[in-house]
Structure 1
């Protein structure tokens, strides 16, 4: 497993622990889902329902696959198994990637504008400098938009333990400004 993947997964654990209590539980996913939906106030209800369903599936998958002692929470140690078995999580990540990227395209033109991308990524918990570096790494158009498909693929790549030098690496640490 690549060091970059380990760093990415450690960051995700901290983001998923939305209430900061040191473990991940259903309440964290409900809180994050609420924040993301609120940030996408212009999105239609079907897009909001899709991201809610994706967050719910994400939690169910984590609980089913990683909660080894059945206590209803996923610890940091249990979560590390996530990156070690990407084949168990591919469909869940795919649903989440597609739903989040589509949420960023309320007008349905296939492109995500920087302000909404920033709002959604901020709602998840990423830092502004890192968000801007990621958006720039997606090579936006002249009018500062990125294809929905590019963002969705970037999310999938983020969870791949064999990937390095990907746009998502900009979310970890402090990118050069």
Structure 2
């Protein structure tokens, strides 16, 4: 596993620990889902339902694969190797990437405007300066938009254990 990938996973773990208790549990996913859906208020019911389902599948996959003792929580040590295993977690990430990027396109024109992108990523918990750096790394068009496909691919790349130098690395970079 590349160092960059390990840093990305540790950041995701800290963000998914939405209630800050040091572990990930179902309540964390409910909190995160609520925040994202609030930021995606302009999206249609289908897109919002897809995001809700993607977050639920993310949690269910983690709980099924990692919670061997049935205590309902996932630690960082349990989370780290699993989330970077494309064989075990790839389909869940693909569903999550498609749902999140689609909810960023409420007018269904295939493009995501910076303000909504920033709102959604802030709802997840990323730092605003890093969100802007990520958006810029996606090479927005002259009207400051990126494609849905670009964001979906960026999300999938973020979870790839062998990727480095990707736009998603901006999310873990210390901003000055």
Q: State the TM-score, normalizing by the size of structure 2.
A: 0.97
User: 1:120 and 1:109 mapped to 2: Cα distance?
Assistant: 18
Deviation at 1:148, TM superposition (A): 0.2
Please say if 1:11 is aligned against 2:11. yes
Gaps of 5+ in 1: none
State whether residues 40 and 104 of structure 2, in contact with CA within 8 Å, keep that contact through their aligned partners in structure 1: yes
**Which 4+ stretches in 1 moved above 6 angstroms?**
none
Equivalent residue, structure 2, for 1:114: 114
Please say if 1:172 is aligned against 2:168. no
Equivalent residue, structure 1, for 2:2: 2
1:80 alignment partner, SS class? helix
Please say if 1:71 is aligned against 2:100. no
State whether residues 51 and 99 of structure 2, in contact with CA within 8 Å, keep that contact through their aligned partners in structure 1: yes
State whether residues 5 and 83 of structure 1, in contact with CA within 8 Å, keep that contact through their aligned partners in structure 2: no
Equivalent residue, structure 2, for 1:157: 157
2:74 alignment partner, SS class? coil
User: 1:102 and 1:4 mapped to 2: Cα distance?
Assistant: 26
State whether residues 22 and 75 of structure 1, in contact with CA within 8 Å, keep that contact through their aligned partners in structure 2: yes
Deviation at 1:19, TM superposition (A): 0.4
User: 1:175 and 1:161 mapped to 2: Cα distance?
Assistant: 23
Gaps of 5+ in 2: none
Deviation at 1:84, TM superposition (A): 4.5
Written as runs of structure 1 = structure 2, the 5 A alignment for 1:36-115 is: 36-115=36-115
State whether residues 134 and 167 of structure 2, in contact with CA within 8 Å, keep that contact through their aligned partners in structure 1: yes
Equivalent residue, structure 1, for 2:32: 32
State whether residues 66 and 81 of structure 1, in contact with CA within 8 Å, keep that contact through their aligned partners in structure 2: no
Instruction: Describe the shift of the 1:84–1:113 C-alpha distance in structure 2 as closer, same or farther (beyond 3 A).
Output: closer
Residues 48-90 of structure 1: CA deviation (Å, up to 9, x unaligned): 0000000000000001111232211101111112245221000
How well do the aligned residues superpose, as a CA RMSD in angstroms?
1.0
User: 1:12 and 1:68 mapped to 2: Cα distance?
Assistant: 21
User: 2:103 and 2:85 mapped to 1: Cα distance?
Assistant: 27
State whether residues 84 and 159 of structure 2, in contact with CA within 8 Å, keep that contact through their aligned partners in structure 1: no
Count of aligned pairs? 176
Q: Which moved more, 1:81-90 or 1:153-162?
A: 81-90
2:24 alignment partner, SS class? coil
State whether residues 25 and 73 of structure 1, in contact with CA within 8 Å, keep that contact through their aligned partners in structure 2: yes
